[in-house]
Structure 1
Amino acid sequence: MIRLSIPLRQALGRLSLPVLIAMAFGVMLLGKADALLVERMRTMVTDVVTPIWSVLQRPVSAASDAVTEVRTLWNMRAENERLRTENDHLRRWQDTALALEAENSLLRRQLAWVPEPAPSFFTARVVADGGGTYARAVLLATGPRAPVRKGQIALDERGFVGRVTEVGSRSARVLLATDINSRIPVTFEGTRARAIMVGNNSARPRLQHWPEGQVPRDGDRVVTSSEASAYPAGLPVGIVRWTEGGVPEVELFARLDRLDVVRLFDFGLQGILPPEAVARPEPRPGRR
């Protein structure tokens, strides 16, 4: 085996860089001189490499597919377990619902119950924020023949929004539940206790005037009350949330900051009262 001396290896190392540069320039000049030849050579290389790459790629793809299949099977197993648990819960709820339905049917027959007609409604688009610094309201585009009147209840797809307070020939104004002038009688679904939801121009109205010993519980669902015939009973409003300062508020279901379309319901209430009629109930012992 021939061993090169150190000076010879150093000389070859110094010559390798100029040789590589010269070869690169030669390839560039060849590409400029005969582009068709370079393209043919590149095509030939591609034709040779592609089958080899395809063969090498098959085991990798097979392994990747196998890993994906195992992961899918594992996820399906976990999903099936979750669905079994959920089905058990749903079966129990179904049994409860069927029992309540049978009980309600019995009570209706005994009371000669007459179902209320379904309320009519009209869909309107929100076109502007009609409030200001000290008001919370929205303006609706209704059209000249829209069946809109004062006192109608506005709902979005989630829950209670507010009430129509002004009606024009092509527009209507809805006072939102968060407005400082809004006073809404509500009921807590958990305890059936009643209270007044008071707007304060913030995102969460406050609760006032609940019965003694029936303090609102955090997480209780809040629905409208038919007290004073101002609102229909049972409309979804929100969830009770207590602040750090010890004040019960209502986290509304409705997205009042993202209103695009609302539905105006006509419940046919005869005893419609202005907001101030339920704003200040007579003080009673034990109420806050």
Structure 2
Amino acid sequence: MIRLSIPLRQTLSRLSLPVLVAAAFGTMLLGKADALLAERARTVLADVLTPFYAAFAQPARAVRDAVAELPGLLALREENARLREENERLRRWQAAALALEAENVQLRGQLAFIPERAPAFQTARVVADGGGVYARAVLVALPPGVEVSRGQIALDERGFVGRVAEVGNRSARILLATDINSRVPVTLEGSRSRAMMVGTNGGRPRLQFWTEDTRPAEGERLVTSAQGIAFPAGLPVGVVRRTPTGGAEVELFARLDRLDLVRLFDFGLGALLPPEAVARPEPRGRR
């Protein structure tokens, strides 16, 4: 039997390839002869093999997704470590802020401090740029019943924008901080030195008239100064940017090129100024 089985296996192995080729050609001829039958056969075969495909595809998909998410997981790990460090730093700042707030309340109680009245404000929408005698100004629409007076301070969500220069029944014109007619007293937060921010009709106002022993530092924050009673103290203005020639300009916090809504604050200072002190128009082309 063993001697007979060996030649039989050899014969079958030699015949397997021709048999498979013949079966393939037969299947092709059958498909050409009867397309409907071939389609049904393919459908039945697909139905039979689909569960196996799904069973094998699930692990392969899981492995592929895991490999694709690996860079993201590594980035998330680094981001998580950074956020933990930042959260810890913010907790320390929060503890320091709470301690300073408690100390501030205690000192105010000892000094019989009277807090200032919160200023009233109105929100207005910018409807036009430029126009009038000013090169850098915007026109805002006022809803019926809203009262606005000259000299009120305009702020956006980031900082100082300008002052109300003209008022009508349904509109008001705001003189921007970059206009050549704008003069804003400011304070350097780092040195507490005072200076004057002067508009240039350009993108950044100039910083002038600071004290000789104090040089504005690059990146130093500026806030409004109460000197001259025209502005309240402490409104955020911008940061110092040094020029190649050694001068100082102000990069404003407010985005004057994309103003949409502004808040007009009434600090009660406009009534203390004569009308001509709010703005003195100069020719539009002058720089």
Residue equivalent to 2:219: 219
- Change in CA separation of 1:133 and 1:249 when aligned onto 2, cut-off 3 Å: farther
Residue equivalent to 1:238: 238
Secondary structure at 1:228's aligned position in 2? coil
Deviation at 1:93, TM superposition (A): 1.7
Residue equivalent to 1:143: 143
- Change in CA separation of 1:241 and 1:43 when aligned onto 2, cut-off 3 Å: farther
1:128-207 superposed matches below 5 A: 128-131=128-131, 135-207=135-207
Kindly indicate whether the alpha-carbon contact (under 8 Å) linking 2:152 and 2:266 is maintained by their aligned counterparts in 1: yes
Secondary structure at 2:240's aligned position in 1? strand
Residue equivalent to 1:272: 273
List runs of 5+ in structure 1 lacking aligned partners. 1-22, 278-288
Deviation at 1:133, TM superposition (A): 10
Secondary structure at 2:117's aligned position in 1? coil
Kindly indicate whether the alpha-carbon contact (under 8 Å) linking 1:184 and 1:275 is maintained by their aligned counterparts in 2: no
- Once residues 271 and 44 of structure 1 are traced to their aligned partners in structure 2, the CA distance between those partners, rounded to angstroms, is 93
Deviation at 1:121, TM superposition (A): 0.8
Deviation at 1:82, TM superposition (A): 1.4
Q: Deviations over 1:148-203 (max 9, x none)?
A: 11111111111111111111111110000000100000011111111000000111
Kindly indicate whether the alpha-carbon contact (under 8 Å) linking 2:162 and 2:176 is maintained by their aligned counterparts in 1: yes
Deviation at 1:104, TM superposition (A): 2.1
Residue equivalent to 2:85: 85
* One-letter amino acid matched to 1:272: L
Aligned alpha-carbon RMSD (Å): 2.9
Deviation at 1:95, TM superposition (A): 3.3
- Once residues 63 and 132 of structure 1 are traced to their aligned partners in structure 2, the CA distance between those partners, rounded to angstroms, is 68
Deviation at 1:117, TM superposition (A): 1.2
Residue equivalent to 1:95: 95
Secondary structure at 1:175's aligned position in 2? strand
Deviation at 1:85, TM superposition (A): 1.6
- Change in CA separation of 1:76 and 1:228 when aligned onto 2, cut-off 3 Å: same
Kindly indicate whether the alpha-carbon contact (under 8 Å) linking 1:143 and 1:169 is maintained by their aligned counterparts in 2: no
- Change in CA separation of 1:226 and 1:53 when aligned onto 2, cut-off 3 Å: same
* One-letter amino acid matched to 1:180: I
Residue equivalent to 2:16: none
Q: Deviations over 1:190-237 (max 9, x none)?
A: 111110000001111110000111111111111111111100111111
- Once residues 122 and 165 of structure 2 are traced to their aligned partners in structure 1, the CA distance between those partners, rounded to angstroms, is 16
Tell me how many residue pairs correspond in the alignment: 248
Kindly indicate whether the alpha-carbon contact (under 8 Å) linking 2:190 and 2:220 is maintained by their aligned counterparts in 1: yes
- Change in CA separation of 1:38 and 1:237 when aligned onto 2, cut-off 3 Å: farther
- Change in CA separation of 1:41 and 1:241 when aligned onto 2, cut-off 3 Å: farther
* One-letter amino acid matched to 2:227: E
* One-letter amino acid matched to 1:243: T
Residue equivalent to 1:121: 121
Kindly indicate whether the alpha-carbon contact (under 8 Å) linking 2:150 and 2:278 is maintained by their aligned counterparts in 1: no
- Once residues 142 and 37 of structure 2 are traced to their aligned partners in structure 1, the CA distance between those partners, rounded to angstroms, is 73
- Once residues 47 and 135 of structure 2 are traced to their aligned partners in structure 1, the CA distance between those partners, rounded to angstroms, is 74
- Change in CA separation of 1:143 and 1:44 when aligned onto 2, cut-off 3 Å: same
Kindly indicate whether the alpha-carbon contact (under 8 Å) linking 1:151 and 1:164 is maintained by their aligned counterparts in 2: yes
- Change in CA separation of 1:178 and 1:40 when aligned onto 2, cut-off 3 Å: farther
- Once residues 148 and 44 of structure 1 are traced to their aligned partners in structure 2, the CA distance between those partners, rounded to angstroms, is 81
Deviation at 1:44, TM superposition (A): 5.4
Task: Compute the TM-score of the two structures, normalised by the length of structure 1.
Answer: 0.76
* One-letter amino acid matched to 1:108: R
List runs of 5+ in structure 2 lacking aligned partners. 1-27, 281-287
Q: Deviations over 1:107-132 (max 9, x none)?
A: 31232110011111111111110248
* One-letter amino acid matched to 2:242: W
* One-letter amino acid matched to 1:238: G
Kindly indicate whether the alpha-carbon contact (under 8 Å) linking 2:134 and 2:175 is maintained by their aligned counterparts in 1: no
- Change in CA separation of 1:275 and 1:44 when aligned onto 2, cut-off 3 Å: farther
Residue equivalent to 1:20: none
Deviation at 1:101, TM superposition (A): 1.9
- Change in CA separation of 1:275 and 1:166 when aligned onto 2, cut-off 3 Å: closer
Larger Rg: 2
